[in-house]
Amino acid sequence: MNAYTTLQELRKTRDTRYQHAALCDTVKEQLEQIVALQKQKGMLEQRLRMLSSGQMVEELNQWDDPDLTEQSKILGDLREKLAAYKLIGPCGLTVSDVESSSLVVTFTPMWLSLSEVFYVSLMAKDDSIQVSATNIPYFFNVPSLVANMKTDVASVMDAISLKLAAFIQRKAEVQLALKTHAEVISASSCSEPVTSVDLQLQSVDPSTEIRKQIDIYITYSSVEDLQPARVKLSPENISIPLEIEEDLHNLIVTSPLSTALHKVVEYLISTEALVEPQLSEEESVDE
């Protein structure tokens, strides 16, 4: 790409960002107008009810409880930000009112055939937003993320959405791998956040009836990672040349697990077993 083309691309990127910024400002102004009109409408409706009941408006103070007023203000501000983020942000979410003092934000990540619904109930307390209930797993530490929501809603929504999306993707890939290669996978284990996956693949050599085995150990650095930080292949009664082992290793790191595992299974089945079976550590000790 020459300098002129690069400059043009940079200009397009700049213009796009300006457009997004202008859209954000427009949405913010519209939200402010809507909130102001809703507030005015509510006050007029309350005034009409009081007048209809024969009460003197001046005798009533509509802000009798300052604590409730502050909670409503905090939640109202959060509701505006979430509404704007839902419109212009990269992640879809649903915001609903359960009662005057709380909001519920729902996330629906999906990958392949797996889809799960997660929610977090937020309430205003002590001049801040706090988590009152959630079904998001503990290892995401949602309360800590929400602690910053009042000042930066978009980044918090992104963080939660991306973590959940990565979690569901890893989980779906493991489920598909177990289902697709059920006849070869003899054992498996997986940590709750799916950041550690161990698979044992077995196949019997038809000519020698020797059982061939490859153990795969996969580790991810964090709950939001899609590429493993560590992959180990441990063969038994089968030889894996260094070049092929590196190819399989790189494939597992860079490809979806279900895709990469197909190549490992293919190699396990097509490769002849060692003529003299390797002894396991336990068998060696017994001798």
* Position 38 confidence tier, pLDDT thresholds 50, 70, 90: low
The mean pLDDT of 171-177, rounded to a whole number, is 95
What is the reported pLDDT for 100?
57
Domain contains 287: no
Domain contains 175: no
Helices (H), the chain: 3-52, 66-88, 142-146, 153-180, 242-254, 257-270, 281-286
Domain contains 176: no
What domain range is 23 assigned to? Answer: 1-62
Q: Which of 31-40, 52-61, 150-159, 178-187 has the highest mean pLDDT?
A: 178-187
Same-domain pairing of 94 and 52? no
Tell me how many domains the chain contains: 3
113-142 per-position pLDDT tens digit: 888 888 888 777 776 778 888 999 999 999
233-244 per-position pLDDT tens digit: 999 999 999 999
What is the reported pLDDT for 157?
77
- Biggest alpha carbon distance in the chain? 100
The mean pLDDT of 42-51, rounded to a whole number, is 61
DSSP letter (8 states) at residue 136: S
* Position 85 confidence tier, pLDDT thresholds 50, 70, 90: very low
What is the reported pLDDT for 188?
96
Same-domain pairing of 72 and 121? yes
Of 35-44, 61-70, 189-198, 234-243, give the lowest mean pLDDT range: 61-70
Last residue of a domain, one of 149, 170, 191: 170
221-232 per-position pLDDT tens digit: 999 999 999 999
The mean pLDDT of 30-55, rounded to a whole number, is 62
What average pLDDT does the chain have? Answer: 76
| pLDDT tops 60 at residue 13 | no
Same-domain pairing of 247 and 275? yes
- DSSP state letters, 28-97: HHHHHHHHHHHHHHHHHHHHHHHHHTT--GGG--TT--HHHHHHHHHHHHHHHHHHHHHHHSSS--EEEE
Last residue of a domain, one of 137, 170, 203: 170
